[in-house]
Amino acid sequence: MTQQGMDPELFEQFIDQLDRYVRERLIPAEADVIANDRIPDEIVAEMKEMGLFGLTVPEEFGGAGLSTSQYARTVRAMAYAAPAYRSIFSINVGMFNSAIKNGGTDAQKAEWWPRIAAGEIACFGLTEPGSGSDSAAMATTARPDPDGNGWILNGTKRYITNAPHASVGLIMARTEKDALPKNAHVSAFIVPMDTPGVSVGSPDKKMGQSGSHIADIMLDDVHVPGDALLGGETGKGFVFAMKSLDNGRISVGAASTGYARRALDSALRYANERKAFGEPIANFQLIQQMLAESETEIYAAECMMTDVSARVDRGENTIRQAAAFKVFASEMCGRVVDRVVQIYGGAGYLAEYDAERFFRDARIYRIYEGTTQILQLQIAKHMLREFAARG
């Protein structure tokens, strides 16, 4: 099924407005976000008013109805500012909305799409203390409620983005003891976070990305009604999660690309201002090499983003391409911020300058929504499967 998205002319106006908002409002507020480890309430309210929490929700349900290509460009634009700004709405418009779109019943869409578009914050509960990419080790369980048609959930989820702020979580849980057929033991549940038995741990202290928060979610005999089961069918949760992660990986790739551009622009400015041996260090060829290598890699990631998001909009299966884009863009961002620290020299190691923050913030991109190593295995698996199918 193809995605049309917002009218192209209106979307270009929206992106122009967003670019100005990022540079004139969000970037000047970064010091406040970092100092207080939170986005100011008034900025969150502004982002909701701009419709950022419902970018991919269909228009008839109160959202902007963006295509994947438009969504990726929006994420890239937002990611030019501190990562916390993207993080606060990314689960809504990425993984949670994708799961509702791909697997939700009509009733679930009618209930949750307007709430998400209005700015209710969602989280996505897949990772656990003992399992992440290894779904067979999932310990969270959902058993039928003996007193009705609902379910009782027990378990712990770890590293859950936006858990301290979320009003709803999409929780993956084991509904069968055995994992046969593969991953059919995992189902997905829409769980309001104020449901009795749901508790959230203190936000974890992290290496970077100040203002974005992750925490554990504990589920202790959490009773949910039968219509909380995504799609109304057990055994489909992992499929929905993986489809959602394709969207999440495009989002992380786009964020990596936008943040790499921010870091490179900073280095370019610094290299023209900083003088050594009587001239700007931008005149030195080895500095120019680092600038050029960074520009080349960012351009490659931008091209990958354009291609993979267009494929999604055409209705193609993009598991391999989304993984490849996320791997390349996140690793690229890591290389760019490393070069930026090097260009800054000694100043790059000081918290007083942006380069040190860019370096810490970028490190997580190579880990979440599938580590580079897990995604490399996935890419190779699909390559080998396609090769075998060709005979």
How many domains does the chain fold into? 3
CA distance 139 to 144: 16
Half-sphere exposure of 85 (CA within 13 A, CB side): 31
Return the biggest CA–CA distance within the chain: 81
> Does one domain contain both 206 and 275?
no
Structural domain contains residue 1: no
Q: Is the Cβ–Cβ distance between 323 and 249 less than 8 Å? A: yes
- 328 vs 176, residue with greater confidence: 328
Amino acid at site 214? I
> Does one domain contain both 248 and 382?
yes
- Condensed to tens digits (0 to 9), the pLDDT of residues 193-245 reads 999 999 999 999 999 999 899 999 999 999 999 999 999 888 887 787 777 77
> Does one domain contain both 379 and 323?
yes
Strands 168-174 and 122-125: parallel
Mean per-residue pLDDT for 281-285? 97
| 84 pLDDT higher than 90 | yes
Structural domain contains residue 109: yes
Mean per-residue pLDDT for 139-144? 93
pLDDT tier at 2, thresholds 50, 70, 90? low
Of the candidates 245, 209, 241, 233, the one whose C-alpha atom is nearest the C-alpha of residue 369 is 245
> Does one domain contain both 278 and 160?
no
Domain-ending residue, one of 86, 101, 120: 120
| 1 pLDDT higher than 60 | no
Candidate from 18-22, 61-65, 304-308 with smallest mean pLDDT: 61-65
Candidate from 21-30, 201-210, 228-237, 345-354 with smallest mean pLDDT: 228-237
Catalytically active residues, by annotation = 369
Distinct helix (H) and strand (E) counts, the chain: 12, 9
Mean per-residue pLDDT for 84-91? 90
Identify the domain containing residue 31 by its residue range: 8-120
pLDDT > 70 in the chain, percent = 97
Distances (CA, A) of 186 to 32, 128, 237: 41, 13, 5
pLDDT of residue 182: 67
> Does one domain contain both 146 and 88?
no
pLDDT of residue 97: 87
Mean pLDDT (the chain, rounded): 92
pLDDT of residue 248: 86
* CB-CB neighbours of 43 under 10 Å: 20
> Does one domain contain both 247 and 375?
yes
pLDDT of residue 241: 73
pLDDT of residue 143: 93
Mean per-residue pLDDT for 299-325? 96
Domain-ending residue, one of 216, 234, 252: 234
Mean per-residue pLDDT for 48-56? 92
